[in-house]
Amino acid sequence: TKWVYTFGDGQAEGRARDHEILGGKGANLAEMCALGLPVPPGLTIMGDACNTYYRNGRHIEDGVKAEVRAGISGIEAITGRRFGAGSQPLLLSVRSGARVSMPGMMDTVLNLGLNDETVQALGHDAGDARFAWDSYRRFIQMYADVVMGLGNDAFEEILEDEKAKLGHETDTELSASEWQHIVFLYKKLIEEELAQEFPQDPEVQLWGAVGAVFSSWMSARAVTYRQLHNIPEGWGTAVNIQAMVFGNLGNASATGVAFTRNPSTGEKALYGEFLVNAQGEDVVAGIRTPQSITEEGRLSSGSEKPSMEKLMPEAFRELCRICSELEIHYRDMQDIEFTIERGKLWMLQTRSGKRSTRAAMKIAVDMVDEKVITEEQAVLRIEPSSLDQLLHPTIDPRVTRQVIGTGLPASPGAATGAIVFTAEEAVEAESEGRKVILLRVETSPEDIHGMHAAEGILTTRGGMTSHAAVVARGMGIPCVVGAGTMRIDSRNERLLGIGVTLKKGDIITIDGSAGQVLKGEVPMIQPELSGDFGRIMGWADRLRRMTVRTNADTPADARAARSFGAEGIGLCRTEHMFFEGERIHVMREMILAVDEKGRRLALDKLLPMQRLDFTGLFTVMHGLPVTIRLLDPPLHEFLPKTDDEVAEVAFAMGMEAIALRQRVDALHEFNPMLGHRGCRLAISYPEIVEMQARAIFEAAVAAAKETGAAVVPEIMVPLVGLRSELDYVKARIDEVAGDVMREAGMKIDYLVGTMIELPRAALRAHVIAEAAEFFSFGTNDLTQTTFGISRDDASAFIPTYQRKGIIEHDPFISLDFDGVGELISIAAERGRQTRNDMKLGICGEHGGDPASIRFCETIGLDYVSCSPFRVPIARLAAAQAVI
Ligand code: PEP
Ligand code: MG
């Protein structure tokens, strides 16, 4: 096997496409090197060596060691330095590099190769003893932490004590001899704590560091991260070993991170932070506040500290040039790391940058205009479910804001909630349905579950590249970071803002687009759906084959859905029209009526309400298809429960409360979801169907007159298992249709179809299709009845199933292709055997789930139908499914 791939001096054995063996970082280092960009020479040990390391009981294979030694000789030849020896010692960085980025999860060792001798040589060679001793103490500290497992705190304590003794405020004030003394103290600490010396042999240091990087793959936090993100353990991590370049070599040296475009807004401008006279870890650790790279960035952050553009104009121009070259090469926005050593720029990493959805939209659209990518590629660049965050409300611009704190706008959108101080409290609140804002000094990977559970995240420390910022953007959760004007007093659970002190549970609003913290709840507005969003959606609409309808029960829902681009109503659940206000009483009278006469009395009251509802829907939809489903309530949802409710209904019906209670009890079902619902209700009480059909047809007449557009109602019969059930109900509908047409003196086209939501219906689809003019897959019930899992009780054990690896996804959220999916395929095929032009759609929750939508495309459904807010998601997912 070949274990090691080298790069340097414009040559590289690997390329970006090799990221599966070399990991993301290694593959892109090779690519940049081959492009002729300034990359310190180095090598990558492929990820599979990590697996071998574990198979060998945590030993590095001899073959790997031999290839690494050969690779290091190559680095020595390019740099003219010798590893761990001589007058010009070569120092190395050792970094992890998994296939996908696992931010902050794994280990790094810098300045490797320093010992009591090479530190002197390095100081001479650089003409800067202070730099050499600073590097040595950094190395000892990192190595002791990562390889020897000593932790960082004791070292930090020593450093803080010494600084205090010497009267220094910052690290940069320490002299060479002062750093030398700290090195002495550090080594002493190691001897005392571990009863062993700090290793002086560079080879020992090297294998120690490589082993530690491999070992970090199985660290608890890395394991958790992989579980959260579905990253297979078998990938292992690659290891990148590179010649060190030094950002801490005086004031002409620096280190930084940048995005080639703004990751929050998508604006085309270099965006990033850097630190003068520092090493990469200092930026991430947040010890010093980084400075802005561009002058514009400095001005907008109001910082006094000079930008890199001003301070190091040549390196800045070189950085800009390289960034645009990288963008064009990768055809995407990049997230880069760099170091400037005495004025010379070195690239240490590039990868495609994480971004907010708004930024993703803008970048994709801009890159189409720049002719860097095609419209199809732009459509593929947007994660459909991420559109959710664009549809998030923002703060109404007309309100006066009571700002109690300001920070950086790390992730867009506004959120309101009660403040909590720990991730655990956020999780608890979510399970109780309370909305919270998670407040932390800064977040760490241990907070992930709490960040997920919160409406918004607020930190008082950290920059745009801090953990909180990166993670929140990925999750699409509004986030403000580095709110330095506020202080968290965690002991007393207080937040001290400008002119206020808040305690746990107090309500705040954060504006992740402006970086502001506001007191209390603030009026919000819905987002603008034109601009970049409109253009991407336009391309998606042109590409997709399936149409997208919505599940809407009211004219207001229908109007919202149309503004999101719905092309019809795929499901109107008529029972939902009866939950509101007055109507529930009439509904109860109808359900509880003891005979047909009583029922007809209640139905007569319901008819005008239904007609009005349907007229509203037809009018809003203006000739677009509207599927109305006949009543399908599990009856218990409507029944009066409390004594007060029973008394009220009894009074309205002129009955004794006791008699009514008996009637309620008689209607009790042991398993209402499999009980007297759907078409079974229509067969028991055909007068209900007759009322609904009359309301639909009369509304169609009224709406056609009002809008001038022909209305073709699609009437859908629920929970059909037998063709004879559908025949019976259809006969009632046809009869009423004839009556209404005669009365109105007008012809109405209409369709009668059925839901396929029982396995029997799916299997007998060819027979049912003889009566049904369309099918709509009710995948909520079809999942329930195929699995035999109650959709209302599943949440008690589905999470356990997922945690224990019994199932991967909740089948009520993402379609079970193998089982439920097969039934759908069978039904679609058999249905079309009988009626080849039959319209097929889906209206269960899965109609808004991107993976399920892809499945619907592959089996050739005509449309998907989902809730109004998911219509844009479905439009995009349907387009991606055909590309
Ligand atoms: C379904 O079962 O998938 C469906 C859409 O109907 P409901 O959710 O109303 O049962
Ligand atoms: Mg159903």
Report the C-alpha gap between 628 and 601 in whole angstroms: 23
- Binned at pLDDT 50, 70 and 90, residue 286 comes out as low
Helices 643-653, 583-592: inter-axial angle, 10-degree rounding? 80
Q: Cβ(111) to ligand 1 under 6 A?
A: no
d(CA 549, CA 625): 9
What does the pLDDT look like over 461-483, one tens digit per residue? Answer: 877 667 788 778 767 689 998 88
ipTM: 0.99
Is the CB of 779 within 6 Å of ligand 1? Answer: yes
Residue 880 has pLDDT above 70, yes or no: yes
Mean predicted confidence (pLDDT) in 100-110: 83
For ligand 1, atom 9, name the residue with the nearest CA.
573
Name which of 760, 762, 787, 766 is nearest 777 in CA terms: 762
Q: Which ligand is nearest to the CA of 812?
A: 1
Does residue 844 line the site of ligand 1, with CB under 6 A?
yes
42 forms beta bridges with 7, 242
Ligand nearest the Cα of residue 633 is 1
Q: How far apart are CA 771 and CA 570, in angstroms?
A: 19
From CA 508, how far away is CA 455, in angstroms rounded? 11
Domains, the chain, with CATH or none = 50-243 (3.30.1490.20), 254-355 (3.30.470.20), 392-525 (3.50.30.10), 544-573+624-632+693-882 (3.20.20.60)
Residue to substitute in 551, 571, 775, 791 for testing ligand 1 pocket (most ligand atoms within 8 angstroms of CB): 571
pLDDT at 231: 86
Q: How far apart are CA 465 and CA 259, in angstroms?
A: 10
Residue 635 is predicted with a pLDDT of: 74
Q: Say how far apart CA 15 and CA 13 lie, in whole Å.
A: 7
Q: Please give the Cα distance from 786 to 789 (Å, whole number).
A: 8
Torsions phi, psi for 592 (to 5 deg): -90, -5
Q: CA-to-CA distance for 485 and 490, rounded, in angstroms?
A: 16
Which atom in ligand 1 lies closest to the alpha carbon of residue 757?
A: 2
For the whole model, what pTM was predicted?
A: 0.81
Which ligand neighbours the alpha carbon of 780 most closely? 1
Of 378, 334, 275, 309, nearest to 32 by C-alpha is 334
pLDDT tens readout for residues 806-843: 998 889 989 999 999 999 999 999 999 999 999 999 99
Residue whose Cα lies nearest atom 4 of ligand 1: it is 778
Q: Is the pLDDT of residue 530 over 90?
A: no
User: Tokens 């003409």, residue?
Assistant: 127
* CB of 573 sitting under 6 A from ligand 1: yes
- pLDDT > 80? residue 773: yes
**What is residue 586's predicted lDDT score, i.e. its pLDDT?**
87
Asked whether 750 and 714 are in contact (CB, 8 A), the reply is yes
Ligand 1 within 6 A of CB of 784: no
Instruction: State the distance from the centre of ligand 1 to the C-alpha of 615, rounded, in angstroms.
Output: 23
pLDDT of residue 465: 65
Q: Is the pLDDT of residue 672 over 80?
A: yes
Q: Is 778 in the pocket of ligand 1 (CB under 6 A)?
A: yes
Give the closest residue to 273 by CA, choosing from 250, 247, 249. Answer: 247
d(CA 663, CA 638): 13
Mean pLDDT of 86-106: 89
Residue 334 has pLDDT above 70, yes or no: yes
Report CA(633)–ligand 1 centroid distance (Å).
10
Distance 865 CA to ligand 1 centre (A): 11
Ligand at shortest distance from the CA of 842: 1
Distance from C-alpha of 110 to C-alpha of 142, rounded to nearest angstrom:
7
66: helix, strand or coil: helix
> What's the gap in Å between 755 CA and the centre of ligand 1?
9
Could you tell me the two tokens for 675? 């009980």
Give 556 or 536, the one with higher predicted confidence. Answer: 536
Predicted confidence (pLDDT) at residue 389 exceeds the cutoff of 70? no
26 band by pLDDT with thresholds 50, 70 and 90? very high
Identify which of 309, 290, 292 has the alpha carbon closest to the alpha carbon of residue 301: 292
Q: Ligand 2 centre from 128 Cα, in Å?
A: 76
pLDDT over 80 (residue 525) = no
Q: Mean pLDDT of all residues in the chain?
A: 92
What are the residues whose beta carbons fall under 8 Å from the beta carbon of 651, sequence distance 6 or more? none
DSSP E strand boundaries for 398-505 = 403-406, 408-411, 414-420, 436-440, 456-459, 479-481, 487-489, 494-497, 500-503
Q: Please write the tens of the pLDDT for every residue from 296-328.
A: 988 887 788 999 999 999 999 999 999 999 999
Query: Looking at residue 828, what is its pLDDT?
Result: 98
Q: Which residues contact 256 (CB under 8 A, 6 or more apart)?
A: 272, 273, 274, 275, 283, 290, 293, 308, 337, 338, 339, 340
Q: Indicate the top mutation candidate among 756, 843, 852 to test ligand 1's pocket, ranked by most ligand atoms within 8 A of CB.
A: 843
Helix (H, G, I), strand (E, B) or coil at 271: strand
Instruction: Please state, for a pLDDT cut of 70, what percent of the chain lies above it.
Output: 98
What is the Rg, in whole angstroms, of the alpha carbon atoms belonging to the chain? Answer: 33
Q: What pLDDT, on the 0 to 100 scale, is given for residue 809?
A: 86
- φ/ψ of 443, rounded to 5, equals -100, 160
Active-site annotation, residues: 467, 843
Binding site membership of 422 for ligand 1 (Cβ less than 6 Å): no
CA–CA gap between residue 876 and residue 391 (Å, rounded): 14
What pLDDT does 152 receive? 85
Three-point CA angle 703, 706, 711, nearest 5°: 35
Task: Count the neighbouring beta carbons within 10 Å of the beta carbon of residue 607.
Answer: 16
Mutation test of ligand 1: which of 673, 720, 757 has the most ligand atoms closer than 8 Å to its C-beta?
A: 757
For residues 250 and 587, give the distance between their C-alpha atoms in angstroms, rounded to a whole number.
80
**What is the per-residue burial (b if ≥16 Cβ within 10 Å, else e) of 435-459?**
ebbbbbebbebebbebbbbbbbbbb
- β-pair type (863-866, 547-551): parallel
Percent of the chain with pLDDT over 90: 71
> Is-contact 517 484, C-beta < 8 A?
no
Is residue 95's pLDDT more than 70?
yes
Q: Which helix (H) or strand (E) holds 324?
A: helix 313-330
Is the minimum distance from the CB of 208 to ligand 1 under 6 angstroms?
A: no
Mean pLDDT of 59-78: 97
Question: What is the distance of C-alpha 331 from the center of its chain?
Answer: 22
Vertex 320 angle, CA 315 and 321, to 5°: 95
Would the pLDDT of 228 be above 80? Answer: no
Atom of ligand 1 nearest to the CA of 779: 3
Residue 847 CA, ligand 2 centroid: distance in Å: 13
* Atom number in ligand 1 closest to CA 571: 5
Composition of the chain by helix, strand, coil, percent to 5: 50, 15, 35
Nearest CA-CA partner of 473 in 549, 390, 401, 538: 390
Nearest CA to ligand 1 atom 1: 778
On whether the CB atoms of residues 460 and 402 are closer than 8 A, the answer is: no
CA of 40 to the centre of ligand 1 (A): 59
Tokens 């002058």 belong to 295
| Per-residue pLDDT at 284 | 63
Q: Is the dihedral of CA 422, 426, 432, 433 positive or negative?
A: positive
pLDDT at residue 719, as a whole number: 97
∠ Cα 462 468 473 (to 5°): 125
pLDDT of 221: 84
CA-to-CA separations, 347 to 11, 19, 38, 274, 452, in angstroms, rounded: 15, 18, 6, 14, 34
Residue 781 in contact with ligand 1 by CB distance below 6 A: yes
Distance of CA 570 to the CA centre of its chain: 27
* Contacts (Cβ under 8 Å, ≥6 apart) of 575: 631, 632, 633, 637, 638
**Element (DSSP H or E) covering residue 359:** helix 357-369
CB 856 within 8 A of CB 837: no
Nearest CA to ligand 1 atom 10: 781
Closest-lying ligand 1 atom to the alpha carbon of residue 845: 3
Query: What stretches of 457-595 show up as alpha helix (H) in DSSP?
Result: 467-475, 531-543, 555-563, 583-592
Q: Is the CB of 780 under 6 A from ligand 1?
A: yes
- What's the rounded Cα separation, in Å, for the pair 713 and 733? 12
- Name which residue sits closest to atom 8 of ligand 1, judged by CA: 780
**Half-sphere exposure of residue 505: CA atoms within 13 angstroms, side-chain side:** 1
Structure tokens of 772? 């049904």
Instruction: Give the ranges where 127-195 is alpha helix by DSSP (H).
Output: 129-146, 153-166, 176-194
Q: Residues 693-743: pLDDT tens digits?
A: 999 999 999 999 988 888 999 999 999 999 999 999 999 999 999 999 999
Asked if 325 contacts 35 with a C-beta cutoff of 8 angstroms, the reply is yes
Could you tell me the distance, in angstroms and rounded to a whole number, from the CA of residue 673 to the centre of ligand 1?
Answer: 11
Kindly state the average pLDDT of the residues 136-154: 93
Quick check: helix, strand or coil at residue 35?
coil
Q: Please choose, from the candidates 347, 479, 365, the residue with its C-alpha nearest in 3D space to the C-alpha of residue 41.
A: 347
Q: Which atom of ligand 1 is nearest to the CA of 632?
A: 9
What's the CA-to-centroid distance between 589 and ligand 1, angstroms?
25
Instruction: Choose one of 632, 780, 823, 870 to mutate for the ligand 1 pocket test, by most ligand atoms within 8 angstroms of C-beta.
Output: 780
CB 155 within 8 A of CB 168: no
